């Protein structure tokens, strides 16, 4: 894709972890003001480095950002989104913490939400297709009460 002035946009390939806890809630992280796309919510993760698999990159990023180890399971979504200055390919995977505790080192805020409540947050545009898919796969039918 090209910008209006004909310059190629930078392409970035990233992975995100949809981390579930035992209660079926999902870990959500709000980008800090020092990050690109500040204040948007996201599934934590980051760029895939040379020589890494997607799963390796996701485990490394979560260890760096949140100080815990995760197990990575099936892919949930694969979305490409063109922002104003770059194009991101975001692949999200279901995951769970297998060692340690989630410690927020980089994000402005964190929270755990049920799948059906994810729409309460202002998600980064590239994360929205994953949010919608999660609600379809794991959300409770509308009208169900706990």
Separation between Cα atoms, residue 15 and residue 77, nearest integer Å: 10
Q: Which helix (H) or strand (E) holds 27?
A: strand 26-30
All structural domains of the chain, each given as residue ranges with its CATH number in brackets, are: 10-138 (3.90.79.10)
Q: For the segment 35-48, what is each residue's pLDDT rounded down to a tens digit?
A: 888 999 999 999 99
Q: For the segment 103-128, what is each residue's pLDDT rounded down to a tens digit?
A: 999 999 999 999 999 999 999 999 99
For the CA atoms of 77, 119, 114, 81, the dihedral, rounded to the nearest 10 degrees, stands at 20
Angstrom CA distances, 117 to 24, 25, 29, 87, 121, stand at 12, 9, 14, 28, 8
What is the reported pLDDT for 146?
Answer: 38
Backbone torsions φ then ψ of 23, nearest 5 degrees: -85, 0
pTM of the model: 0.90
Separation between Cα atoms, residue 45 and residue 39, nearest integer Å: 16
Backbone torsions φ then ψ of 136, nearest 5 degrees: -70, -45
**pLDDT, average across residues 126-142:** 88
């Amino acid at each position: 894709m090209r910008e209006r002035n004909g310059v190629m946009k930078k392409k970035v390939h990233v992975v995100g972890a949809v981390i579930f806890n035992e209660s079926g809630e999902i870990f959500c992280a709000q980008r800090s003001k020092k990050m690109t796309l500040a204040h948007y919510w996201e599934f934590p993760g980051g760029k895939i480095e040379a020589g890494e698999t997607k799963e390796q990159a996701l485990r490394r990023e979560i260890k760096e950002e949140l100080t815990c180890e995760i197990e990575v399971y099936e892919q949930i979504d694969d979305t490409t989104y063109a922002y104003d200055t770059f194009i991101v390919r975001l692949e999200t995977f279901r995951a769970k913490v297998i060692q340690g505790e989630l410690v927020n080192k980089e994000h402005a805020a964190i929270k755990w939400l049920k799948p059906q409540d994810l729409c309460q947050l202002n998600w980064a545009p590239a994360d929205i297709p994953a949010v919608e898919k999660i609600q379809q796969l794991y959300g409770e039918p509308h009208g169900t009460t706990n």
